[in-house]
A and B are shown apart, each in its own frame.
Chain A
Amino acid sequence: MKALFGLVAIFLGSNVFAPCRAEPYTPASDAQVLERLPVTNQDPMQRRLRAMRTTLDQNPHDLALAIALAQGYVNSGKTQADPRYYGYAQGVLNPWWNLQDPPTEILLLRASILQFRHDFSDALADLNKVLERDPANARAWLARAAILLVQADYPEAQRSCLPLLELDDPLSAAACLSQIGSLTGHAAESFVLLRDAFAHAPRPSDDQRYWILTLLGTMSFQLDQDQDAGRFYKQAIALRGEDVYLLGVYADFLLDQDRAGEVVSLLRDQTRVDPLLLRLALAKQRLGSEDLAGLASVLEQRFAVSRLRGESLHQGDEARFRLFLLNQPQPALRLAQANWKVQREPKDMRILLEAALAAENPSAAKPALELIARTSLEHPRIQALAARLRALESH
């Protein structure tokens, strides 16, 4: 039976040109809408970017303008989680992209773009170069800490947070350090540290509040304070309802709470974005919706296209897709293991444990289990999975 599943998977996986085998057609009416742009050209930010692009076209070597435009694209890419914007940013930086020692601002932008593509070692190399030149560059320290956090290199991440204290930025330092603390057996103290720093921060802006609230929500969830977590997330969404990362985190939280109906209403219009489409499909599966098959085939096509490009940015999500929607534990485990080599955040741990459990292969989860034991990670769901895996192993 499993072999049959495997064969079906291979068949589905190999049919990568399926999306372009669809029949092209000639629309009957000029008024027919073929595509809705994610952001209209009347959006003020989009207008600004467009105006900058027109000016830059006249003089592509205008460093200051190129930096501003690339930064604008990187920001759009972040909020909308849209890879195209990162490509545009790289295009704008073309004249400097391959330089060994470009200006500091270019290094910072290049690091963001490389980080998005999971090229962590090159991104870290660029950030280290910035810090060699300018040890007081808070942005570089923070970006460096963020990458090391994803790689689960907690001691080095902490060393990257500490300079922020000397740079007279207590809230950034608190956010940076509490994130690490919450993953290394100090979840309660970390929560208190961040909550208090937030309460005492003078006039935090919406951006700051949104970001800290998301962190507080995640930490509360880790501490099994689901009500508090829900409250923090809701406050954050009130500030930044369109942020893709936040929507994904909140949808995962709701799925864990068995609130699939709310996930559907939250993400109904977010089918463009793969991680959100995945969460929508997971919610529809729980509700037994009829259009699940259609969503699953769209996801299958998108993962296939990304493989065709030779990209491996989506392995964690694809593992979830294969495990929960297609019931393919073996391929899911392989993807989760490949993902673990690159990213080691709690969500990456979790899918690796879940896939190893489903595939009845506890030794595959060994690296994650070791990390959890070493860091005494507090996370009720991950701990429960780890316990089941250890029980399976001792049988």
Chain B
Amino acid sequence: METESHKSNRWLCLSIVLFLSCFAIPVSAHKSSDSYLTLRIESGHIEGRWDIALRDLEYAIGLDANEDGAITWGELRSSRQEVTGYAFSRLQLRSGGSSCPIEPGLLQVDEHSDGGYAVLWFRSDCGQSSSHLDIRYGLLFELDPQHRGLLQLDYKSKTHTAVLSPEQSRQRVQLDQVRKASAFFQYMNEGIWHIFLGYDHILFLFSLLLPSVFCSSSAGWQPVRRFYPAGIEVAKIVTAFTLAHSITLSLAVLGFIEFPSRWVELAIAASVLFAACNNLYPVIRNRRWAVAFGFGLVHGLGFANVLEALGLPENMLLLALVAFNLGVEIGQLAIVGAFLPLGYAIRHSRGYLIFGVRLGSGLIALLALFWLIERGLNIRIEF
């Protein structure tokens, strides 16, 4: 009897398990949680409508006060503060770098195919109008990662739709087709900033420029006598680099070529390492412009990744490309403009050769080596 009951107990446990697991034949039903966010952009402000399922609000903040399984208008109305507080703390609108405060408006209700929804009307003012709107959406994600925000944005008789998920909770919508000028300046600005913030491009350029106030002879580095040859050398390097990265940037953005960004980043790190080492143990002495051109092709692919990450407007692809590239050149010329007179002025000092060229190149090479390891092994090295 003992074994019998033991056995049947075990049978019971496993059978429940069996019931739970084996019976998991997928059945589609009800509906996953969605909200419908509709934004209409008027002159200077946004009219919004947000439909959120009452069932979701019940799960998130509790609406069924008397716990009778029915949500009434009275219950929803008395939770109005909590509902708007919960919802609007999980939606951010930004335009041109500044946030657009949301003013909740009328609370209504509507019926969708899967049940009752609260309809939250709102208005948002972005102050100065900008060429794009950034939407950051986080409703319910912490409670139900399968929740989706279904966005519809109406602007000048055009409609843009997107699905917002925990993995893709931000959406940038390009708005302006009329004021191309502001989009142009915006992308140019991004280009300039990328040159200053993306150290690898600066360091690559620096490594090539550092020795440009010297001419190489059998006796090693000798300071140039006149400004002219140094100027020509710098112009050659910068032109070659610009030409090369413009080619690959354009080809990549226009979709003619595509490389995995990890390999591109790896190659960029390698280019910095090579350029810096070349100053310490010269392999290529007189044709640094060729190095600039060859690796410039790789850096162009890196720029393309950045530009694509910014989001490219379909209707202004070429404009964005030209503006971004121009921004990159401006940033580059600013660096060259700062370096060349300084380098020329101190070219005779021994300190420049030792600390500027040798030590500088050594440090750059060390940093590039770290990048190479980080990017190659896909790890982060903390200092």
Contact B31–A83 (Cβ < 8 Å): yes
Contact A82–B30 (Cβ < 8 Å): yes
Per-residue CB contact flags for chain A residues 225-263 toward chain B (1 = under 8 Å, else 0) read: 000000000000000000011001000000000000000
Closest approach, in angstroms, between the C-beta of B4 and any C-beta of chain A?
7
User: For residue A42, which residue of chain B has the nearest CB?
Assistant: B67
CA distance A308 to B112 in the complex (A): 15
Contact A31–B74 (Cβ < 8 Å): yes
- Candidate in B4, B23, B143, B145 with the most chain A CB atoms within 10 angstroms: B23
Contact B18–A211 (Cβ < 8 Å): yes
Contact of A90 among B23, B24, B144, B161 (CB under 8 A): B144
User: For residue B56, which residue of chain A has the nearest CB?
Assistant: A84
Contact A41–B69 (Cβ < 8 Å): yes
CA distance A146 to B55 in the complex (A): 31
Query: Which B residues between 111 and 132 are near A, CB-CB below 8 angstroms?
Result: 111-116, 119
The reply on B194 being an interface residue by CB < 8 A is no
Contact B74–A142 (Cβ < 8 Å): no
Contact of B23 among A40, A168, A245, A273 (CB under 8 A): A245
Contact of A172 among B15, B27, B54, B148 (CB under 8 A): B15
The reply on B77 being an interface residue by CB < 8 A is yes
Contact A272–B115 (Cβ < 8 Å): yes
The reply on A169 being an interface residue by CB < 8 A is yes
Measured as residues with beta carbon below 8 angstroms from the partner, the interface class of chain A is 35 or more
CA distance A138 to B68 in the complex (A): 40
Contact A146–B74 (Cβ < 8 Å): no
Contact A205–B67 (Cβ < 8 Å): no
Per-residue CB contact flags for chain B residues 68-109 toward chain A (1 = under 8 Å, else 0) read: 111111101100000000000000000000000000001011
What chain B residues lie within 8 Å of A52 (beta carbons)?
none
* Interface window among B5-13, B229-237, B281-289: B5-13
Contact A143–B29 (Cβ < 8 Å): no
Contact A118–B26 (Cβ < 8 Å): yes
Contact A274–B31 (Cβ < 8 Å): yes
What chain B residues lie within 8 Å of A172 (beta carbons)?
14-15, 18, 22
Contact of A343 among B15, B26, B49 (CB under 8 A): B26
The reply on B197 being an interface residue by CB < 8 A is no
User: For residue B23, which residue of chain A has the nearest CB?
Assistant: A211
Closest approach, in angstroms, between the C-beta of B258 and any C-beta of chain A?
23
CA distance A32 to B49 in the complex (A): 22
CA distance A202 to B22 in the complex (A): 20
The reply on A81 being an interface residue by CB < 8 A is yes
User: For residue B111, which residue of chain A has the nearest CB?
Assistant: A22
What chain B residues lie within 8 Å of A201 (beta carbons)?
11
* Interface window among B32-40, B242-250, B270-278, B367-375: B32-40
Closest approach, in angstroms, between the C-beta of A100 and any C-beta of chain B?
15
CA distance A32 to B133 in the complex (A): 38
Contact A30–B73 (Cβ < 8 Å): yes
Contact of A94 among B27, B111, B113, B142 (CB under 8 A): B142
Contact of B72 among A32, A75, A90, A276 (CB under 8 A): A32
Contact of B77 among A30, A37, A308 (CB under 8 A): A30
Contact B71–A37 (Cβ < 8 Å): yes
User: How many inter-chain residue pairs (CB < 8 Å) link A and B?
Assistant: 254
Contact B142–A146 (Cβ < 8 Å): no
Contact A168–B69 (Cβ < 8 Å): no
User: For residue A310, which residue of chain B has the nearest CB?
Assistant: B163
Contact of A83 among B24, B51, B113, B146 (CB under 8 A): B146
Query: Which A residues between 32 and 83 are near B, CB-CB below 8 angstroms?
Result: 32-42, 74-75, 78, 80-83
CA distance A276 to B31 in the complex (A): 13
Interface size counted on chain B using CB atoms at 8 A = 69
Contact of B25 among A108, A301, A345 (CB under 8 A): A345
The reply on A2 being an interface residue by CB < 8 A is no
CA distance A37 to B30 in the complex (A): 12
Contact B72–A25 (Cβ < 8 Å): no
The reply on B19 being an interface residue by CB < 8 A is yes
Contact A24–B17 (Cβ < 8 Å): no
Contact A313–B33 (Cβ < 8 Å): no
Contact A84–B34 (Cβ < 8 Å): no
Contact B23–A205 (Cβ < 8 Å): no
Contact B71–A171 (Cβ < 8 Å): no
CA distance A202 to B28 in the complex (A): 34
Contact of B26 among A150, A204, A274 (CB under 8 A): A150
- Known contacts A34-B73, A41-B64; A171 and B15 CB within 8 A of each other: yes
What chain B residues lie within 8 Å of A39 (beta carbons)?
69
User: For residue A83, which residue of chain B has the nearest CB?
Assistant: B32
The reply on A193 being an interface residue by CB < 8 A is no
CA distance A393 to B35 in the complex (A): 47
The reply on B147 being an interface residue by CB < 8 A is yes
- Known contacts A34-B109, A88-B144; A112 and B30 CB within 8 A of each other: no
- Candidate in B18, B70, B148 with the most chain A CB atoms within 10 angstroms: B18
Closest approach, in angstroms, between the C-beta of B9 and any C-beta of chain A?
10
CA distance A108 to B108 in the complex (A): 42
Contact B20–A274 (Cβ < 8 Å): no
Closest approach, in angstroms, between the C-beta of A69 and any C-beta of chain B?
12
What chain B residues lie within 8 Å of A245 (beta carbons)?
23, 25, 27
Contact A94–B73 (Cβ < 8 Å): no
Contact A143–B25 (Cβ < 8 Å): no
CA distance A80 to B114 in the complex (A): 14
The reply on A29 being an interface residue by CB < 8 A is yes
The reply on A289 being an interface residue by CB < 8 A is no
CA distance A81 to B24 in the complex (A): 10
Contact of B14 among A108, A112, A138 (CB under 8 A): A138
The 5 sampled A-B contact pairs (Cβ below 8 Å) are: A31-B72, A41-B64, A94-B142, A314-B28, A343-B26
- Give residues in B with beta carbon < 8 Å to A: 4, 7-8, 10-12, 14-34, 36, 38, 49, 51, 54-56, 58-59, 64, 67-74, 76-77, 106, 108-116, 119, 142-148, 150, 152, 161, 163
**A34-B109, A146-B23, A308-B150 given; 6 more Cβ-contact pairs under 8 Å:** A17-B36, A36-B69, A115-B24, A244-B27, A302-B114, A343-B26
- Give residues in A with beta carbon < 8 Å to B: 17, 19-20, 22-27, 29-42, 74-75, 78, 80-84, 86-88, 90-91, 94, 97, 108, 112, 115-118, 138-140, 142-143, 145-146, 150, 167-169, 171-172, 175-176, 201-205, 207-208, 210-211, 244-245, 248, 272-276, 298, 301-302, 305-306, 308-311, 313-314, 317, 343, 345
Closest 6 CB pairs of A and B: A40-B69, A30-B74, A81-B29, A87-B146, A87-B144, A35-B116
